Amino acid sequence: KKTAPLPDDIKARKGGAPLVSLTAYTTPMAQMMDGICDFALVGDSVGMVLHGLPSTLGVTMEMMILHGKAVARGLKQTMMVVDMPFGSYEESPALAFRNAARLMSETGAAAVKLEGGVHMADTIAFLVKRGVPVMAHIGLTPQSINTLGGYKVQGRGAAAQSLMADAKAVAEAGAFSVVLEKVPAALADEITAEIAIPTIGIGASAGCDGQILVVDDMLGLFTAFKPKFVKRYANLGTDGRAAIQAYADDVRARSFPAAEHIFASDAPTGAAK
């Protein structure tokens, strides 16, 4: 029976068959992708996708732990990574370790993810040396939306050099992989060729070592907006609304519940029903 890969197994997939990943926030969603995805990310996108927050800035450690525990219950063959929320790691390596250790010990996550390149390299090295596998996240880093000035493509023009520097810095600091979000495809390919750890693209390039999407985006469940980099593989939001309308129509017509959904006064003989 297949068991979940470890961060080192993910790292070893550099240059090989593309890594497949999605976000997950709940047990049933985790079960849906278990054994199909190489890893599932309990992303801080949970704040926007499930809690209706305007950005990821309001996401707390408690939310990440609650959703991390739920996702862990649904995964057997897929590795779980949990995002470090805004404010839980930027201040110092020591604070980052304290919170990363909590995320791992309370949820069972195999690794944490944090946003930042060159300026987070010391923290990444500090964590890795102390037993915390780190997935880095560079390019568009949504926790910095207020200093980036919006959800723009990162690394265009002269900024390409600093993004390459970020990628090299997190790889050298010991990250086992790095998410590249919303960067030019050619730059994503250059970074992928340059660094020794797998690149996981989202709005990057098919040439990355792997891909990730927000699961509610690709299922069409989250419909408040659709980034260009999202491909919708289903329209569960539309389907769900149609199902709810059909239920409402049935209730109003008294055609639900029907005979097969209701109970007789006398218990049936034989198997308990």
Residues annotated as catalytic are 181
- Write down the least CB distance from residue 179 to Na ion, Å: 8
Three state DSSP letters for the chain:
CCCCCCHHHHHCCCCCCCEEEEECCCHHHHHHHCCCCCEEEECCCHHHHCCCCCCCCCCCHHHHHHHHHHHHCCCCCCEEEEECCCCCCCCCHHHHHHHHHHHHHHHCCCEEEEECCHHHHHHHHHHHHCCCCEEEEEECCHHHHHHHCCCCCCCCCCHHHHHHHHHHHHHHHCCCEEEEECCCHHHHHHHHHHCCCCEEEECCCCCCCEEEECHHHHCCCCCCCCCCCCCCCCCHHHHHHHHHHHHHHHHHCCCCCCHHHCCCCCCCCCCCC
| Nearer Cβ to ligand KIV (38/83) | 83
Summarize the annotated binding site as residue ranges.
44-45, 83, 113, 115
24 binds ligand KIV (CB under 6 A): no
Q: Does 155 help bind ligand KIV (rule: CB under 6 A)?
A: no
How many angstroms separate the CA atoms of 164 and 176, rounded? 17
Is 202 a binding residue for ligand KIV by CB under 6 A? The answer is: yes
For ligand KIV, the binding residue among 204, 212, 219, 221 (CB under 6 A) is 212
When binding is defined by CB under 5 A, the residue of 24, 39, 44, 188 that contacts Na ion is 44
Residue with smaller CB distance to ligand KIV, 43 or 68? 43
Residue 43 binds to ligand KIV (criterion: CB under 6 A) = yes
Among 7, 10, 19, 23, binds ligand KIV (CB under 6 A): 23
Q: Residue 177: which of 190, 167, 164 has the closest Cα?
A: 167
The interface region with Na ion, picked from 12-20, 40-48, 99-107, 196-204 by CB under 5 A, is 40-48
Binders in 83-112 for Na ion, by CB under 5 A: 83
The minimum distance between CB 83 and Na ion, in angstroms, equals 4
Closest distance to ligand KIV from the beta carbon of 23 (Å): 4
d(CA 83, CA 89) in angstroms, rounded, equals 11
By CB under 5 A, is residue 38 in contact with Na ion? Answer: no
Cβ proximity to Na ion, 83 vs 216, nearer residue: 83
Range in contact with ligand KIV (rule: CB under 6 A) among 40-48, 153-161, 226-234, 238-246:
40-48
- If one asks whether residue 179 binds ligand KIV (CB under 6 A), the answer comes out as yes
Residues that bind ligand KIV (CB under 6 A): 23, 41, 43-45, 83, 137, 179, 202, 212, 214
Residues that bind Na ion (CB under 5 A): 43-44, 83
